[in-house]
Amino acid sequence: MKRIGVLTSGGDSPGMNAAIRAVVRKSMFHELEVFGIYHGYQGLMNNNIKELDLGSVGDIIHRGGTILGTARSEEFKTDEGQLKAVENLKQHGIDGLVVIGGDGSFRGAEKLSQKGIAAIGVPGTIDNDIPCTDYTIGFDTALNTVIEAIDKIRDTATSHERTFVIEVMGRDAGDLALYSGLADGAETILIPEVEYSIDDVVNRLQRGFERGKKHSIIVVAEGSSGGLKIGEEITEKTGLECRVTVLGHIQRGGSPTAADRVLASRLGSFAVELLLQGEKGKMVGIQNNSLVATPISEALAQKHFVDLSIYKLAKELSI
């Protein structure tokens, strides 16, 4: 292997730049040539490919977003789209590819591997919803963004003695809601993996008020039922006025935390090592603080499971 490419695809996450930097620098350390592919698979089909050097990834380790840009592409899901992508890579003499993204992007990487391009997936998403890795790049930063926001909301909630419902991202995975709810001492956490009962939510609220609590924080994952609906249901049942905050895309941005920069550096470098060992169609991950590689097909046949012991703990501590 002499030349490799790197792209970011799907939803962006803080730390993707640190991962790009690791891929580029590790490749250069091993005297490989590296090409940046701009705007994900769409850019790959459009031949938007440029050689990178050591300097092109300077001063980005601390920046959110992705210098390569990202995109979603329906065309790439077709055989013709994938063949176009393979042809462009071959034209540049690129036979290895690092794909930084989520599970959709990994499916694309697997297809490319089947068509003769060795591709390795690096998990980058704030949702932490990828199997075979304890953490994904961007999750820790998003978590800290959520916590900072909830801390601020808590100040005003205490002053006004109000009930706040905060909706955080996570369509299928409740990790962000769960960990932020635990870290912020939320009274109630609603995640897509656990069915909720509005009566239970209301009982917990009322128990809190009876023992003199001045405010309440309820964290809801967008995939659970959404913050607005929960706010309405609480008002209907109790007559309490609820303030609903949807945190939205603020959770995707910002300078990556130290944990995300370290994770991105380790995973990006490991992806290059795997390419050098002749591996393809695998995703890299971290399990018990060790780097692991899993075939993408095997990983995506599994489901990501939220840690229900954390859910139980959060419930016990917010009794």
Q: Is the CB of 101 or the CB of 181 nearer to ligand ADP?
A: 101
Count other Cβ atoms within 10 Å, centred on residue 214: 12
Of the candidates 12, 127, 129, 140, the residue annotated as catalytic is: 127
Buried b vs exposed e over 136-154: b needs ≥16 C-beta within 10 Å?
A: bbbbbbbbbbbeebbeebb
Closest to ligand ADP by CB, 98 or 314: 98
Cβ-count burial 73-83 (b if 16+ within 10 Å, e if not)? beebeeeebbe
- Return the residues of window 84-123 that contact ligand ADP according to CB under 6 A: 101-105, 107-108, 111
157 or 267: whose CB is closer to ligand ADP? Answer: 267
Amino acid at 117: I
Asked if 5 interacts with ligand ADP (CB under 6 A), we say no
Among 48, 88, 125, 251, binds ligand ADP (CB under 6 A): 125
Closest CA to 125 of 100, 97, 149: 100
Edge-first strand listing for the sheet containing 3-8: 49-52, 33-37, 3-8, 96-101, 118-123, 282-287, 290-295
User: In whole angstroms, how close is the CB of 233 to ligand ADP at the nearest point?
Assistant: 31
Closest CB to ligand ADP among residues 223, 231:
223
**Is 127 part of the annotated catalytic residue set?**
yes
Binding residues, as ranges, are 11, 21-25, 72-73, 102-105, 125-127, 154, 162, 169-171, 185-187, 211, 213-215, 222, 243, 249-252
Which of 11, 138, 181, 268 is the binder for ligand ADP (CB under 6 A)?
11
- Give the integer Cα–Cα distance in Å for 143 and 252: 10
- Give the catalytic positions in this structure: 127
